[in-house]
Amino acid sequence: MASVPAVLASEWTKIRTVSSTVWTLISAFVVTVAMGAALCALMNAQFDDLPVAQRVTFDPTLISFSGMVLGQLAMVVFGVLVVGTEYSSGMIRTSLAAVPQRGSFLFSKVAVAGVLALVVGIATSFVSFFLGQALLGEHRTDIGADNVLRAVVGGGVYMGLIGIFSMGVATMLRSSMLSLGILMPFFFLVSQILSAVPGAKKVARYFPDQAGSKIMQVVPDAMNSNPAPYGPWGGLGILVAWVAAALIGGYLVLKKRDA
């Protein structure tokens, strides 16, 4: 039996030797930081024009994470490609012939890629936060303020979990194109639109991104957003449940189906 440290070392070699890893992670970082900074600068300039309800619930921490709406898509691409290229290239057969224990194979891969996604996610959220606060001028908050550190670390964890969720989905679907074709519109359009439709709101708030992003709010119902029946940790819990479901689904598919 191939030992777990050996599989981890091998997966680390695989992940660091393809350029898609570098590009998707850099995009996730740059897009999130840049867009967050731009929105913080905009908010600072137009704070007095905001509706009263938004001014009352203004959440400087959350505003500095606005870039994650786009940045998470790069994380999705990273997660999908890590798994999907094994299938599209046929490498999966070489890999599974070398590691017949499919559970060790999948969870080592997810562990390596997941830790990488978490590290990049946390770096992204800290840089986004500090840059955003610098641009918010007098409306800024401080890392030492109540719940702010939780939100900043949570933002990083959120990005990492979205990446891991994508890996699970790609393992279930066994195809990069199919996974991206489903996940990208889902995170970018479906989830955003449904969360604005009155009837669908109640369902949409249990979607992985809607629930998970609650961890980044310091002010409850920040920016006059929809109140949710769960708190920040509850929201993160819902995201974790989605991730677990995707990984278990992926594991079962990998275990049952012919490679």
Partner 1 sequence: MIEAVGLTKRYGAKTAVSNLSFQVRPGTVTGFLGPNGSGKSTTMRMILGLDQPTSGHVTIGGHPFRSLPNAPRQVGALLDAKAVHGGRSARNHLLSLAQLAGIPAARVDEVLGVVGLQDVARKRSKGFSLGMGQRLGIAAALLGDPQVLLFDEPVNGLDPEGILWVRNLMKMLASEGRTVFVSSHLMSEMALTADHLIVIGRGQLLADMNVKEFISVNSADFARVRVADGLAERREKLTASLTEAGGRVMSEPDGALRVTGLPLPRISEVAHDSDVRLWELSPHQASLEEAYMRMTQSVVDYRSTADQKAGLQPPADHGYGQPGYGASQPPVLEAPQQNWYAPPPPGQNPPAAAPAAPSTTTADLTERDTSEDAR
Question: Is 90 an interacting residue with respect to partner 1 (CB under 8 A)?
Answer: yes
Nearer to partner 1 among residue 85 and residue 192 (C-beta): 85
Please list every residue from 7 through 46 that binds partner 1, using CB under 8 A: 7, 9-11, 13-14, 17-20
Region near partner 1 per CB under 8 A, out of 1-9, 165-173, 193-201, 245-253: 1-9
Nearer to partner 1 among residue 9 and residue 189 (C-beta): 9
Nearer to partner 1 among residue 50 and residue 259 (C-beta): 259
Please list every residue from 187 through 226 that binds partner 1, using CB under 8 A: none
Which of 232, 121, 126 has its CA nearest to residue 166? 121
Nearer to partner 1 among residue 202 and residue 255 (C-beta): 255
Nearer to partner 1 among residue 18 and residue 200 (C-beta): 18
Binding mask 94-133 for partner 1 (x = CB under 8 A): x-xxxxxx--------------------------------
Chain residues that interact with partner 1, rule: CB under 8 A: 1-3, 6-7, 9-11, 13-14, 17-20, 85-86, 89-94, 96-101, 258-259
